[in-house]
Amino acid sequence: MASQGAVVVIEDDADVRNLLVAVLQQSGFDVSTASTGHEGVDLVREVGPDVVTLDVGLPDIDGHEVLRQIRAATDCYVIMLTARAEETDTLMALQIGADDYLTKPFRPRELRARVAALLRRPRAQRTAPRPDVAQSESTVPLSKRAILHHDGLVLDANARVVTLEGDMLTLTRSEFELLHDLMRSAGAVRTKAELVRVVRGGGQPTDSYVSDFDQRAIEVHIGNLRRKLEEDSKNPRWIMTVRGVGYRLTPVAEGE
Ligand code: CA
């Protein structure tokens, strides 16, 4: 089987670590493991993985600090492993830039479903996008490029680059997917449940289970995105809240 990409598992509990490794390897990923936070950060810098699974409770440094250090080095897809009772920890991890979470104890079936969702995602770039990379791709015919524009925001889906009035934004995988989905929807309202499925990877059944907490996770991702866009909360220029439903792109006023 061709490799589906590289995964780094950071987990101090050997049973959980072995389960993660077994399921990920069966799915075709190259897996490396670390049992402490420091080791994990070093391994992520060395491997440059597509996906990281990160335990919140590690013996040396706090999982949130590990996440901060990983985020400083890469925009790869990060799944936090948290205990069921630690919802505030999970929300904090999402604020720091985790893409998704899995609560322990989880069943292998649950983990396989999450891994299957990962496989449906577009392959992550190995390195963070840079403006000069985006320019070097301008040899690709324009018709083949998926470039979306909206009021100063430009999203290039192929290069996975977003600029705001010419300045590059550094977005996590999930922030990029959410913004891409809203821009593609061109002002149509997207429900939080729909956006959960966007973050989990497209092509999931539209009736797949979405919890209240999954929807709160979307609120956190959108909050992060708005902070990076420096949105005016009273008068959002790009992302509007549709109360009780979800989000939509702010329409551009006539004549602008
Ligand atoms: Ca642990």
Least confident stretch, 48-52, 110-114, 138-142, 217-221: 138-142
- Interval between CA 6 and ligand 1 midpoint (Å): 22
Least confident stretch, 16-20, 82-86, 90-94, 168-172: 82-86
- Interval between CA 256 and ligand 1 midpoint (Å): 53
**% of the chain beyond a pLDDT of 70:** 86
- Interval between CA 215 and ligand 1 midpoint (Å): 25
- Interval between CA 145 and ligand 1 midpoint (Å): 43
Q: What is the pLDDT of residue 254?
A: 58
- Interval between CA 89 and ligand 1 midpoint (Å): 13
Position 89 in a domain: yes
| Dihedral of the alpha carbons of 66, 71, 72, 75, in degrees to the nearest 10 | 150
Please give, one letter per residue, the 3-state secondary structure of the chain: CCCCEEEEEECCCHHHHHHHHHHHHHCCEEEEEECCHHHHHHHHHHHCCCEEEEECCCCCCCHHHHHHHHHHHCCCEEEEEEECCCHHHHHHHHHHCCCEEEEECCCHHHHHHHHHHHHHCCCCCCCCCCHHHHHHHHHCCHHHCCEEEECCEEEECCCCEEEECCEEECCCHHHHHHHHHHHHCCCCCEEHHHHHHHHCCCCCCCCCCCCHHHHHHHHHHHHHHHHHHCCCCCCCCCEEEECCCEEEECCCCCCC
Average pLDDT, integer, range 116-139: 53
CA distances from 212 to 98, 193, 219, 242 (A): 18, 9, 11, 17
Q: What is the pLDDT of residue 162?
A: 94
Please state, as a whole number, how many other Cβ atoms lie within 10 Å of the Cβ of residue 200: 23
Q: Based on the fold, state whether residues 19 and 88 are members of the same structural domain.
A: yes
Give the model's confidence band at 107: pLDDT under 50 very low, under 70 low, under 90 confident, else very high.
confident
Kindly report, residue by residue over 247-256, the tens digit of the pLDDT.
999 988 755 4
- 20: domain CATH number is 3.40.50.2300
- Interval between CA 213 and ligand 1 midpoint (Å): 22
CA distances from 29 to 36, 47, 157, 196 (A): 21, 13, 24, 24
- 143: domain CATH number is 1.10.10.10
Structure tokens that stand for 177 in this block? 């997917």
Q: What is the pLDDT of residue 2?
A: 76
- Interval between CA 63 and ligand 1 midpoint (Å): 9
Which of these three, 57, 92, 120, is where a domain ends? 120
- Interval between CA 16 and ligand 1 midpoint (Å): 9
Position 51 in a domain: yes
Which of these three, 76, 96, 120, is where a domain ends? 120
Position 222 in a domain: yes
Which of these three, 60, 93, 120, is where a domain ends? 120
Q: What is the pLDDT of residue 121?
A: 67
Q: Based on the fold, state whether residues 19 and 66 are members of the same structural domain.
A: yes
Q: Based on the fold, state whether residues 75 and 153 are members of the same structural domain.
A: no
Position 254 in a domain: no
Q: What is the pLDDT of residue 222?
A: 96
Q: Based on the fold, state whether residues 207 and 227 are members of the same structural domain.
A: yes
Does position 31 have pLDDT exceeding 60, yes or no? Answer: yes
How far, in Å, CA of 155 to CA of 162, rounded? 4
Structure tokens that stand for 62 in this block? 């706090």
CB 130 within 8 A of CB 108: no
Kindly report, residue by residue over 164-206, the tens digit of the pLDDT.
998 999 999 899 999 999 999 988 999 999 999 898 876 666 7
- Interval between CA 1 and ligand 1 midpoint (Å): 31
Task: Give me the chain's average pLDDT, please.
Answer: 85
The domain tally of the chain equals 2
Q: Based on the fold, state whether residues 62 and 161 are members of the same structural domain.
A: no
- Interval between CA 167 and ligand 1 midpoint (Å): 39
Q: What is the pLDDT of residue 106?
A: 86
- Interval between CA 15 and ligand 1 midpoint (Å): 11
pTM of the model as a whole: 0.75
- Interval between CA 194 and ligand 1 midpoint (Å): 32
- Interval between CA 57 and ligand 1 midpoint (Å): 4
Average pLDDT, integer, range 77-98: 87
CB 155 within 8 A of CB 179: yes
Structure tokens that stand for 88 in this block? 């505030």
Q: What is the pLDDT of residue 237?
A: 92
Domain containing 29: what range?
6-120
Which residues neighbour ligand 1 (ion) by CB within 5 Å?
12, 55, 57
CB 13 within 8 A of CB 34: no
Q: What is the pLDDT of residue 145?
A: 59
Does position 39 have pLDDT exceeding 90, yes or no? Answer: yes
Q: What is the pLDDT of residue 201?
A: 77
Give the model's confidence band at 131: pLDDT under 50 very low, under 70 low, under 90 confident, else very high.
very low
Q: Based on the fold, state whether residues 66 and 106 are members of the same structural domain.
A: yes
* Better-scored residue on pLDDT, 41 or 73: 41
- Interval between CA 35 and ligand 1 midpoint (Å): 9
